[in-house]
Amino acid sequence: KEEAPDVRVVLREMPNVQQVQALEREDIDLGILYTPLTLPTHLRQQVLARYRLVAAVHDGVPVDADGLVSLRDVARAGLVMFDQTQVPQLRAGIVEALVKLDEEYRVVQEVGHTLTALACVGNGIGAALLPAGTRQVQCPGVRYADVHERQLLPTLALSVVWRPRSRPTVVERFAKVLREASVDVGF
Q: What is the DSSP string of 148-159?
A: TTGGGSPPEEEE
Q: What is the pLDDT of residues 117-149, one digit of tens each?
A: 999 999 999 999 999 989 999 999 999 999 999
**Angle at 50 (CA atoms; ends 30, 82), nearest 5 degrees:** 75
Cα gap 131→133, rounded to integer Å: 5
Predicted pLDDT of residue 167: 62
Predicted pLDDT of residue 170: 72
Average pLDDT of the segment spanning 41-55: 90
Confidence check: pLDDT of 184 > 60: no
Confidence check: pLDDT of 68 > 80: yes
Q: For residue 170, how many C-alpha atoms fall within 13 Å in the half-sphere facing its CB?
A: 11
Average pLDDT of the segment spanning 24-45: 87
Strand, helix or coil at 119? helix
pTM of the model: 0.81
**Angle at 138 (CA atoms; ends 133, 140), nearest 5 degrees:** 140
Inter-CA distances, 126 with 33, 48, 102, 165, 174, Å: 24, 30, 20, 44, 38
Q: Which residues, including other chains, have CB under 8 Å from residue 78's CB and lie 6 or more apart? A: 106, 107, 108, 109, 125, 126, 127
Contact yes or no for 157/186 (Cβ under 8 A): no
Residue 120: Cβ within 10 Å count? 22
